[in-house]
Structures are given as C-alpha cells and as structure tokens.
Structure 1
C-alpha cells in the first residue's frame, strides 16, 4: 500500500505526545498539521509560521530546557535558510532537536529549484553529532519516529510529500544499521529513499535473470554510517553502484566511496542527479524518470562496469562516476 512518509511521521508522533509530555511539535505553516491534528496535539503544538531560522532557534531553546522538539519544515529550507541555526544553536550544543524535513529530494519538483532539496544529505551528514536518516517507506518512518526517542543529540529525517509504495518484507529498520534487502555475490547496489531503493530492488531482480547476483543495501542512515555492513558486502563483489535522489557530490555516494576507499578499495559507480540545477518542469515522478534515477540505469551501469573490468583485465579497484 502506498502512503506518504510525512503523513506516517505525523500519525506516529501524535499518540507519542500524549505519553511523553516533554515532546513538542513545532511547525512552520507546512499544512501537515491542520486544525484537526493541531487540536489533538494541544499545547504541545506550536505553529511559528514561515520563519525557519527562528523555528530552529526556538527549538534549541526548548531543548536546552528539557523539551524534545520535533520541527516540521521543508528540507530545502531546513538545510539552507536555517542551516546556521542548526549548526550553531542545535548541533554545537548537542541538543535533541528532531528536524523532520518534508519534500526531500525532488518531492517539490513542481515548485522548481528553489524548493528542491538535492544537497541536504551532504550538508547534514558533515555536522558533528547529527544523526541523518532517510526512510524508504511509511513503515520505516513510523519505526524511526519511535526510535528517535532514544537517539542522543540532534536528528535529521528526510521525508517525502506524496504517497510512495511500501518496501517488500524486510527486517525491521533500525537507525544506524543498513538493511540487506537482497543477497548476491557479484555486485552491491546501495540506495536510500523510496524511489532509489525500489529502483535498486527492481534492478537486482533484472540482474539475477541475467545471471548477475546483486546484494541490495537500503542505507537509510547516512550518519552514523554502517561501514561494517557495507564493507562486508563489498569485499567479495566486483562493483558497487549507489543510487540517490540527490546531487552525486557529498551524499550517499560520497559516504560509500569514502568508506570503501579507506576500508575496502572497490570499484564504485555513483548514480544521482547531474551537477546542475533542474531545468525541467514536472512533478517528482516525472523528474525521477527524466533524470533516469531508474532500475534501467542501474542495470546499465552494472553491465558497463562489469564489461569494462573484464575487457581491461585490471585487478585494481578504482572509483568512477557516470
């Protein structure tokens, strides 16, 4: 069943407010909490309007006084307009503020580049002490909201806008631990977020039919990064391919390449958004297809990578981009 991750977050948070009086829900007029939901939250809900920098400052003040604020805003504004407050007021002071960032990636595709969040993972994962999570479906979002009660320090959660399909049955997601969704011995496909993870699962099925076994890792937590699971999967493989709804620089692909360069040098192909602002008009589904964040692209990258390695006869492993 398809369900929006941002709605799963809202529906998971509301019952927790009742049992945890220290929790607060701070909004920036996102529309996620309409009058009905705001009434349920009662005095634990505050709509501070479209003032993201102030929103983070107030959340930091509340957290310093013993509250645990969940802050609702769009990802593009959380990680650009309000970045200074997140860095200095929240991360520097190691405060337990939960930045629940909706419209991640291309989810606000219809609103243009000002509202796209294609740099947020790169920005947030370099902040000391910041936990960075990208749920791949509604069920994972619910699990992460519950688990967030036990996460020390600040947390950034990238959420979508519209309903996306549920993942196939998999081990319950745990913050900080990659999910192994498929097992294979030839290549490793690493993804985060709804569309990339589903694309990698489809690609793995196609590759299996072609005689190429593929491991699929849902690397939903970019920080702390599960290096052990990645390295274990990558060591016997000939190739690692990453896919993300993010610019190629600094996000998931960067984290994978950095980790493997240090721990298990492996041929890495990073797939993501090209190094340019989006110049196409359309919704998220259209833009994901237009920029080829698809299973077909993953399969092509694997076939090209394996063919190149075979024809060159090289035994050393290097990072490449496509």
Structure 2
C-alpha cells in the first residue's frame, strides 16, 4: 500500500482559499492565469475570484485599489515575477500605502527548477524584506502554511507569502506556530541551526541528528517569519557558543542569513555562518532537490559548517 505524498505549500494555500473565500466577504482572490485554481469551486465567493491574465504589475495595482476600498485582496503569481517584474507596483502601490494585500508567491527558490533561471526566485527575500511595512513569511510545511496564512489575514499591512511548487514533508512536531515567532524544533547547547523554507528546515533537522551522533548538541529554529525577525529567539539559540548557522533556499546575498547577521551583529555579536545558494545564476534546468544539492544546500553542508564553526572557536580559545 502506497502512502500519498504530502501536499505542496501552494496546494495547501489553494485549498484554504477555496474554504475561506465563500465565508469571508473581505477577501478577493486575484489571479494571473497561473492555473492554480483551475476547477476550484469557490461557491458563494465565486464573484470575488478574478483572473486578470498575465499582467503582474496590473495585478498589484488592482489589489491596492481593492485594499483602499476596504477589501483584503490575495494575489497569486510566481515569486520570480512578484519580486522582479511587478516590484515597482508592489513598492509604490502597496508597501508605500501600508495596504493589506497578501502576495501569494508560488514556485519560490528553485522549485521551478525545470523551467530554468528565468523562473528561479533566489532574490525575493532580499527584495521583499527591504520594503518598509512588508511582512515576509516562509512556511516550512503544509500545516504551517495554513496556520500562518490564517494568522496573516488580520494584519494591517502587506504580507509576502513565499510558497513552493512541489510536495514537501511534514516537519517534526514543535510548539504552535505563531506569526513573528520562530518555532523551536530542537533545543541544544553547542550551536544553533536557523532555517527558513521547507527544504532548508529539513536539512537543518537532519544535520542536527548527524551532529548529535558526534556528541554535538544543536538547536534547530524554524524561522518562518523573516520579517519581522524573531531576534530574541536567535539570541537565545546562539547561547554560550554565540554561533548560528543559517540555511535558506536563496542566494547568499541579502537573504535570510544576511538578515540574521545584521540583527545579531548589532544586538548580540555572534558568528553567523550561512548555507545558501552561491552567488551565481543556476545554469542548468533540473529538479528542486538536485539543484539544491548542486548549490550546496544540504544536511551534510549544514553539519560541516557547524563543525567548522565549533572547531575554529575551540582553536581560538586555546
């Protein structure tokens, strides 16, 4: 008997929209011919689903107008287009006015790896976290996607919800997921592993298990909210070792790891070592796991970075 694969974060979001749109008259779902909602029955909310076609800048401007009229628009497009093609409209029409638009950005990272670098989104966290008023959310699995999306609906300003294309495994059980608070998946004493996104969090969990076999105790933080960043949890996780290894499906430049380094350098000087995609376009097409492994975003790389950090600190202490 085969077990069904767990859903992708975008599929969870789709099903939740189908549930919420008929019940919440504030919501308007705006699409860009993504095909995500093909065959979905919105029931009483059907007149609040609008497909604007492949027009991402228009999508953002229309959503801003609806938000000004008291609605809570949820827009759907690929992450590569939300963070690049439509950026001016996101900045000027949405973020500047602090409007309650939810940007559901699918195919993030290299989850659309088969389509090549034009459809990779390895810059979007850097772009979106620099915009004033923007909340940036990167759920780690299906359950956290549903919880965080529901929690985001009552926020007063814009939200960038980073979603993937492919099936993702469930995360280990942890405390309830709260928007703006990192989720502790494991508590350790030697080093902190902080990750955002499904595959990076899975890599951090697997790395912590590898390190435990070697007598190294690692904390694992699922940092699903990149902005605002839970700096208090990061400081606590860094602990006596004052070392954090970050893991992300993003270019190394200006992403999640950079946000952690910025925060800790000001408030709690600590060593931050980043595991991320190299500063280069991915020149090949391929599956998500293959491209992440090719870029060095793996459990083995996380464990190796942790060993290096701890080894160097021990030599420095002599």
| Superposition TM-score, scaled by structure 1 size | 0.95
Query: After superposition, where does 1:27-46 map in structure 2 within 5 Å?
Result: 27-37=31-41, 41-46=45-50
Q: Matches of 2:135 and 2:33 in 1, distance apart?
A: 25
Give the distance between the partners of 2:40 and 2:227, measured in 1 at CA: 35
Match among 95, 99, 107 for residue 95 of structure 1 = 99
Q: Which runs of 5+ in 1 are unaligned?
A: 315-322
Q: How does 1:7-18 map to 2 (within 5 A)?
A: 7-18=11-22
Counterpart among 78, 83, 105 of residue 82 in structure 2? 78
Matched, 1:151 2:155: yes
Partner of 2:71: 67
- Residues 251-281 of structure 1: CA distance to partner in whole angstroms, max 9, x if unpaired? 1101110111011111111110101100122
CA contact (8 A) 1:79 1:123 kept: yes
Cα displacement string for residues 169-224 of structure 1 (whole angstroms, at most 9, x for unaligned residues): 11121110000110001000010000000000010011111111000011110111
5 Å-filtered alignment, 1:223-262, equals 223-262=227-266
Residue range with higher mean Cα deviation, 178-187 or 14-23? 14-23
Is the aligned partner of 1:167 residue 2:139?
A: no
Q: Give the 3-state SS of the residue equivalent to 1:99 in structure 2.
A: strand
1:203-222 alignment to 2 at 5 Å? 203-222=207-226
**Following the alignment from structure 1 to structure 2, what is the Cα–Cα distance between the partners of residues 234 and 3?**
33
**Contact conserved, 1:244 with 1:253, CA < 8 A, in 2?**
yes
SS at match of 1:19: coil
- Separation of aligned partners in 1, 2:315 and 2:99: 53
Q: Deviations over 1:12-71 (max 9, x none)?
A: 122211221110000001110003345674101000011000000000001110111000
Which blocks of at least 5 consecutive residues in structure 2 are unaligned?
Answer: none
Alignment partners' CA distance in 2, 1:184 and 1:5: 28
Q: 1:282 matched to which residue of 2?
A: 286
CA–CA separation in structure 2 for the residues paired with 1:24 and 1:274: 38
Residues 289-304 of structure 1 mapped to structure 2, 5 A cutoff: 289-304=293-308
- 2:197 corresponds to which residue? 193
SS at match of 2:261: helix
| Further displaced range: 186-195 or 298-307 | 298-307
TM-score, normalised with respect to structure 2: 0.96
8 Å CA contact 2:191–2:239 kept in 1: the answer is: no
Residue number in structure 2 paired with 1:129: 133
Q: Please give the secondary structure, in 2, of the residue aligned with 1:189.
A: strand
Contact 2:121–2:250 (CA under 8 A) maintained in structure 1: yes
**Match status 1:20 vs 2:24:** yes
Q: Cα offset for 1:288? A: 1.1
Q: Give the total of aligned pairs.
A: 314
| Structure 1: distance between partners of 2:36 and 2:248 | 25
Retained in 1: the 8 A contact 2:243–2:272?
yes
Distance verdict in 2 for CA 1:57–1:311, change over 3 Å: same
> Counterpart of 2:276 in 1: which secondary structure?
strand
Contact 1:101 1:156 in 2 (8 A): yes
The alpha-carbon deviation at position 302 of structure 1 amounts to: 1.0
Cα RMSD (Å): 1.3
Q: Deviations over 1:217-236 (max 9, x none)?
A: 11110111111111122132
Of residues 115, 122, 137 in structure 2, which corresponds to 1:118? 122
